[in-house]
Each structure stands twice: as C-alpha cells, then as structure tokens.
C-alpha cells in the first residue's frame, strides 16, 4: 500500500468526507492574476477543487484556459494570488520558497512531456537523485525497486540515449514515485510518445493507481488519454466549467484508438450532455 507522507506533526490530519474519501488536495476559491505592465491577466478566476486519495483524474481545457497555471499551483511551483490550498493537510498558500521546495520534493512526483532526464546519468542514478535531495537512506535499493515497479529492472545501468521514449518516460515515472509522494502530477506525459509507447506508459500509470492507490493528476489536451482516467475536469477562462466522473474508464491497450473526430464527439457528449451521469459536488 501507498505510504502517505504525513507532514509536520502540527499539520492537521487529512480531511475526510462523510463517505470516507480522504481529501489530498483542497483548493478553495483560488485566483491567479498576472500583471503585465498595466494589463491584468486573470488566469484563474476562483477555482474550487477537491481531489481524493487514490483518484486518477485529468484536467482538460482549451489553450489559455488556465491549465498550466493550475498545474503550477497544484505542484507548489507557484503561489495563487488569493485563496487557499491544502495539500495533504498542509496549507501550501502560506509557505515560503524554501518550504515550497520541500513540499515539492516530499509530496509531489512530477512527470513531464519531455521526460526531463539527465543525459549522462544512468537510470538508477536518475531515480536515486530525489532520495539524495530528501536525505533518505537505502537509496540504491529503493531506486532499484521503483525501476522494477515500472518494468525496468533490467535497464538499471542504461543511459537515456540507450532507452526508447517509452522507457525514458518510465524512468521518469520511477523517479516521481521513489519518494512515495502524496500525488503524481503529469503534464502531457504521453504527448511526445508514439501511440504504442503512450499505451505502455498509460498502462504503468493505471497499474500504479490500481495496485498502489497512487493519486494521479494528468494535464492533457488529448480526450483519448482523459478517457483512461476516472474523472475529467474542464477549465475555461480560468474557471472549472465541468467536473465529471468517467463512467467506464478505458483500460490501456484494450481498445484501439478511434479517429479524433469520433473521440472528441464522445467526450463532448459525456462532458456537456451526460444526461444520467453522476456529477461531482
């Protein structure tokens, strides 16, 4: 089972809903305003969002809708202009830069579109790095186990150039996992992969979520990817305009990808006209 990092002793316990779901992320009326000279850009205009332990969800929305801004705030890379953000019981909106860096290292595992691996570093060393920053022990064993959990137990000494795109992304997933974060944040994690490698990476995320209960948040443009997650949040103009449960999430590799037009149409139907679908909140 997933071991959840509890934060400082003074931190309040995780909030629990009446149905027993534990709140990992609790965002209350978050706004983000960028000032460019005399122009104010309201990137987020009051976002409320709760993400529960073990959820696997995607954040979608047109370009400019605020996805990256929300992702940066979720990932403690940036602070909101107003509002509150509790991550795993800790009020992130009041932390200093140094404390934010600690939160990032201990509570969040990042996976990027471009993998962000070090060129001249073996898979094993890449995965050991977060453990070095957090001062953890048994680094080699834990890094090896993380790589084994993504099916790379036989590639420990390989450099990124000796691995396929899908394998490189799996190294990045192992690196994101190794500190046992409260949540994995992935920004278009299959965006640079061919569809076979994309499926392979999707299978890893689904397995980790199903077997270890790892809370996973995807930012994606791709409705096909979103259909593999359990819940879809749609942003538009800095607001959440839809928050839907995916009725029957696809299992990666089981169904062949339909044409883009068919795919968009079905997501649109589910998201905006999902008559008998259960709505969140």
Interface residues toward ligand ADP, by CB under 6 A: 34, 36, 41, 43, 61, 63-69
209 binds, among Mg ion, ligand ADP, none (CB under 5 to 8 A by kind): none
The piece of 6-14, 64-72, 223-231, 263-271 that touches Mg ion (CB under 5 A) is 64-72
Q: How far is the CB of 181 from ligand ADP (least distance, A)?
A: 22
Phi first, then psi: give them for residue 273, nearest 5 degrees.
Answer: -120, 15
As given in the structure block, the two tokens for residue 273 are 């006209």
3-state secondary structure the chain: CCCCCCCCCCCCCCCECCCCCEEEEEEEEEEEEEEECCEEEEEEEEEEEEEECCCEEEEECCCCCCHHHHHHHHCCCCCCCEEEEEECCEEHHHCCHHHHHHHHHHHEEEECCCCCCCCCCCHHHHHHHHHHHCCCCCHHHHHHHHHHHCCCCCCCCCCHHHCCHHHHHHHHHHHHHCCCCCEEEEECCCCCCCHHHHHHHHHHHHHHHHHHCCCEEEECCCHHHHCCCCEEEEEECCEEEEEEECCCCCCCCCCCCCCHHHHHHHHHHHHHHCCCCCECC
34 binds, among ligand ADP, Mg ion, none (CB under 5 to 8 A by kind): ligand ADP
Number of residues near Mg ion (by CB under 5 A)? 1
Nearer to ligand ADP, 34 or 280 (CB): 34
Nearer to Mg ion, 68 or 203 (CB): 68
Q: How far is the CB of 178 from ligand ADP (least distance, A)?
A: 28
36 binds, among ligand ADP, Mg ion, none (CB under 5 to 8 A by kind): ligand ADP
Q: How far is the CB of 126 from ligand ADP (least distance, A)?
A: 27
CA–CA dist 177, 54 (Å, integer):
14
Q: How far is the CB of 149 from ligand ADP (least distance, A)?
A: 30
Q: How far is the CB of 239 from Mg ion (least distance, A)?
A: 16
Q: How far is the CB of 268 from ligand ADP (least distance, A)?
A: 18
Nearer to ligand ADP, 61 or 198 (CB): 61
68 binds Mg ion (CB under 5 A): yes
Specify burial of residue 42 (Cβ count, 10 A radius: 0-12, 13-18, 19+). Answer: middle
61 binds, among ligand ADP, Mg ion, none (CB under 5 to 8 A by kind): ligand ADP
Nearer to Mg ion, 68 or 113 (CB): 68
Q: How far is the CB of 171 from Mg ion (least distance, A)?
A: 24
Nearer to ligand ADP, 185 or 214 (CB): 185
280 binds, among ligand ADP, Mg ion, none (CB under 5 to 8 A by kind): none
Which positions touch Mg ion (CB under 5 A)? 68
């Amino acid at each position: 089972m997933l071991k959840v990092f509890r934060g400082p002793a003074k931190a309040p316990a995780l909030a629990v809903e009446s149905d027993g779901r534990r709140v990992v992320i609790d965002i209350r009326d978050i706004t983000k305003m960028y000032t460019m000279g005399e122009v104010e850009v309201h990137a987020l205009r009051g976002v409320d969002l709760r993400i529960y332990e073990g959820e696997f969800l995607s954040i979608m929305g047109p370009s400019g809708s605020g996805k990256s801004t929300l992702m940066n705030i979720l990932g403690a890379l940036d602070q909101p202009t107003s509002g509150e953000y509790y991550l795993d019981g800790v009020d992130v909106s009041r932390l200093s830069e140094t404390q934010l860096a600690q939160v990032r290292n201990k509570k969040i595992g990042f996976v990027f579109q471009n993998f962000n691996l070090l060129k001249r570093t073996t898979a094993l060393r890449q995965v050991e790095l977060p453990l070095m920053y957090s001062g953890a022990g048994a680094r080699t064993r834990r890094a090896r186990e993380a790589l084994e959990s993504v099916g790379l137990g036989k590639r420990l000494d390989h450099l990124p150039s000796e691995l396929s795109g899908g394998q490189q992304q799996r190294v990045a997933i192992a690196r994101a996992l190794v500190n046992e974060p409260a949540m994995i944040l992935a920004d278009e994690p299959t965006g640079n992969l061919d569809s076979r490698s994309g499926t392979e990476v999707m299978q890893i995320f689904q397995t980790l979520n199903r077997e270890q209960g790892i809370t996973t948040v995807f930012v994606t443009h791709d409705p096909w990817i979103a259909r593999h997650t359990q819940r879809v949040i749609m942003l538009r103009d800095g607001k959440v305009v839809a928050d839907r449960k995916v009725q029957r999430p696809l299992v990666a590799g089981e169904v062949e990808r339909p044409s883009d037009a068919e795919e968009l149409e079905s997501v649109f139907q589910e998201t905006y006209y999902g008559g008998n679908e259960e709505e969140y909140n």
